[in-house]
Amino acid sequence: MGSKGKRIVFTGGSGKAGRHVIPELLKRGHTVLNLDLTDFPKEHDPEGKVFTLRTDLTDSGQVFNAFTTHFNFAGYELPSVPGPPDVVIHFAAYARNMLVPDNECYKGNVTSTYNVIEAACKLGVPKILIASSETVYGVCFAQGDIEYESFPLDENIDVNPMDTYAISKLCGERVARGFARRFDNDIYALRIGNVVEPHEYAKDFPGYLRDPKARKRNAWSYIDARDLGQICDLAVQRDGLGFQVFNATNDTITATFPTRQFLENWCPNTPIVKEMEEWEAPLSNRKIRDVLGFKEEHNWRKYCDPEQ
């Protein structure tokens, strides 16, 4: 695969993350078909570049069909019917617990992820990205005040979440690992941090800084939705890694004093087992920086004065 101009099928693009990620992919020269149950929001696509095909991803037949369809009506002008896309990016899911009963959350997330990975692999798609989650580290939706295993939280830590949403995401990672081995393609699982949209900095971050405990369940980390778009593009470009897990977070801790000091004050029972950069996010993105070359563009301090 080259570096630009891929045909990408993106599931769940109308959601909080996707509505920022897809415009970033378009800016970088890709074409995108959105599979969702709701249309892509017009305010994020004023020129109408994103076509949405309403697709129930829990229906395997619909998934196979959607992966071999036109990206828009202009496809009918081409001399032949479309083949499968170059890349599938799977973000569609119940986005957290407490939206539907737990069994429905598990069924919907696991079934849709399995269907997407199976169809893409069997159709010969060489690159698949799936949205995993920070929740697999076991604290975000834990019952009670639970400690992290150790800091920094990196991709090598054994994860054992107790909640349905996180377990469904971990199941998706396991499916991805097995299918990447079977089909010898690239499947990268992005453990996405707390997604922050541009308008949320001024609204939410002052409160986060005043109340450090408020961010424990997110490991005092986040991902700017636009930087997540950059991450997806970098993952599309980088080939040959097989199955990989990447933390998808921004660089720095959401706090007003350095990381080690902050963690020793607010998470004293969790060991710090590796050296950490002065302001490094506890949910560390070192791997995605080192392997994919991620350079954040939207540090929270650009949008929220830490002195206020």
User: What would the pLDDT profile of 92-124 be if each residue is shown by its tens digit?
Assistant: 999 999 999 999 999 999 999 999 999 999 999
Q: Is 42 exposed, middle or buried (0-12, 13-18, 19+ CB in 10 A)?
A: exposed
Tokens of 157: 């830590």
pLDDT tens-digit profile of 158-171?
A: 999 999 999 999 99
- Note whether residue 308 is domain-resident: no
- Cα end-to-end distance, the chain, whole Å: 47
Residue holding tokens 């269907």? 115
Average pLDDT, stretch 241-252? 98
pLDDT tens-digit profile of 281-296?
A: 999 999 999 999 999 9
- Note whether residue 307 is domain-resident: no
Tokens of 57: 């991803």
Question: Structurally, how many domains does the chain consist of?
Answer: 1
What CATH number did the domain enclosing 227 receive? 3.40.50.720
Q: Are 12 and 93 in contact (CB under 8 A)?
A: yes
- Note whether residue 1 is domain-resident: no
Q: Looking at 58-201, which runs of residues are DSSP E strands?
A: 87-90, 127-133, 186-192, 195-196
pTM of the entire structure?
0.97
Question: What is the pLDDT at residue 3?
Answer: 55
Q: Which residues constitute the domain of residue 266?
A: 7-302
Question: What is the pLDDT at residue 299?
Answer: 97
**Where residue 305 falls among pLDDT bands split at 50, 70, 90?**
confident
CA distance 208 to 216: 10
pLDDT tens-digit profile of 32-67?
A: 999 999 999 999 999 999 999 999 999 999 999 999
145, 169, 215, 193 alpha-carbon torsion, rounded to 10°? 160
